[in-house]
């Protein structure tokens, strides 16, 4: 299922033994543009610390009841490695976090999820994973902070990032929602992070190698309920891009 980050914002988080708070934002890496952590707003329960939940522990998203199942107990979360609320997510913290939960690290291997193209949810297979060695340095970005970034075509600015469309099975950010109202009124379009030519987090700018005119004529994005495979196919065909789902059968 494809769902936007802003839709998920505020969803209740149900642990194995009760509600633990609400979804607040997400951290994603700047190589694969894949969600690595959900940031939980726990209210007054765990004051003074960031509570991060890896997709390895997210058991499912329910759009009807607006909640996310978390396959952890409150005790597991409370005893997890401490990350102070004003501290960035360091590699040292991540190593402690993944060591605590015993899940495969994503920065080892050549795939989006380390040694696997897609997230490995079967916990019994984790211990059978190859030796996990660091192969790249992850840099995590917040959806909250990247929201509002400038989007530039190859001949000028086209708008800004308004939202992120997430695949809740692979936890990949498959599209950025671009608001073009500062250029022409009333239209939003989708652009894949895979189509980016340049990403400058220091300048809060993303560059796509397409003209403003091409993007202007792209299929309009109205709401996520219309994100059918048919719509996606037309979108990729228009941009002359291969669909990300083409590799799903191979991955399986």
**Intrachain domains 2-140 and 147-251 with the same fold:** yes
Which pLDDT score, from 0 to 100, does residue 136 have?
A: 85
Which pLDDT score, from 0 to 100, does residue 129 have?
A: 58
Inter-residue contact 181 to 23 (CB < 8 Å): no
Which pLDDT score, from 0 to 100, does residue 248 have?
A: 56
Where is average pLDDT lowest: 66-70, 130-134, 135-139?
130-134
The stretch 51-61 carries a mean pLDDT of 97
Which pLDDT score, from 0 to 100, does residue 252 have?
A: 45
Domain 147-251 in this protein, CATH class: alpha beta
Which pLDDT score, from 0 to 100, does residue 131 have?
A: 63
For residue 115, give every residue at least 6 positions away whose Cβ sits within 8 Å of its Cβ, in sequence order, or none.
104, 108, 109, 129, 130, 132
Q: What is the 3-state secondary structure (H, E, C) of the chain?
A: CEEEHHHHCCCEEEECCEEEEEEEEEEEECCCCEEEEEEEECCCCCCCECEEECHHHEEEEECCCCEEEECCCHHHHHCCCCCECCCCCCHHHHHHHHHHHCCCCCCCCCECEECECCCCCCHHHHHHCCCCCCCCCCCEEEHHHHCCCEEEECCEEEEEEEEEEEECCCCEEEEEEEECCCCCCCCEEEECHHHEEEEECCCCEEEECCCHHHHHCCCCCCCHHHCCHHHHHHHHHHHCCCCHHHHHHHHC
CATH of domain 2-140: 3.90.50.10
Q: What is the pLDDT of residues 3-32, one digit of tens each?
A: 999 999 999 999 999 999 999 999 999 899
Q: What is the pLDDT of residues 102-136, one digit of tens each?
A: 999 999 888 999 988 889 998 888 866 566 677 88
The full length of the chain comes to: 252
Mean pLDDT for all residues in the chain: 90
Would you list the domain boundaries of the chain? 2-140, 147-251
Nearest to 192 by CA among 241, 159, 233, 238: 241
Where is average pLDDT lowest: 38-47, 132-141, 154-163, 223-232?
132-141
Q: What is the pLDDT of residues 167-201, one digit of tens each?
A: 999 999 999 999 998 787 778 999 999 999 889 99
Residue holding tokens 């959900």?
Answer: 38
């Amino acid at each position: 299922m494809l769902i936007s980050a802003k839709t998920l914002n505020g969803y209740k988080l149900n642990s194995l033994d009760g509600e633990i708070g609400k979804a607040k934002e997400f951290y994603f890496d700047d190589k694969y543009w894949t969600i690595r952590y959900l940031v939980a707003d726990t209210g007054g329960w765990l004051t003074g610390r960031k509570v991060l939940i890896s997709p390895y522990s997210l058991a499912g998203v329910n759009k009807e009841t607006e909640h996310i199942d978390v396959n952890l107990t409150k005790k597991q979360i409370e005893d997890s490695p401490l990350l102070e609320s004003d501290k960035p997510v360091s590699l040292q913290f991540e190593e402690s976090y993944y060591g605590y939960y015993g899940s495969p690290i994503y920065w080892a291997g050549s795939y989006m999820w380390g040694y696997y193209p897609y997230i490995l949810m079967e916990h019994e297979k984790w211990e059978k994973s190859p030796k996990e060695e660091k192969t790249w340095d992850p840099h995590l970005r917040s959806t909250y902070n990247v929201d509002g970034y400038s989007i530039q075509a190859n001949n000028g600015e086209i708008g800004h990032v308004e939202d992120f469309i997430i695949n809740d099975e692979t936890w990949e950010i498959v599209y950025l929602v671009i608001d073009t109202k500062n250029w022409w009124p009333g239209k939003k379009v989708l652009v894949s992070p895979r189509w980016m030519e340049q990403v400058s987090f220091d300048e809060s700018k993303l560059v796509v190698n397409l003209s403003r005119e091409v993007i202007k004529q792209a299929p309009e994005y109205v709401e996520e309920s219309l994100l059918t495979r048919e719509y996606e196919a037309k979108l990729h065909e228009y941009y002359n891009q291969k669909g990300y789902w083409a590799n799903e059968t191979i991955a399986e």
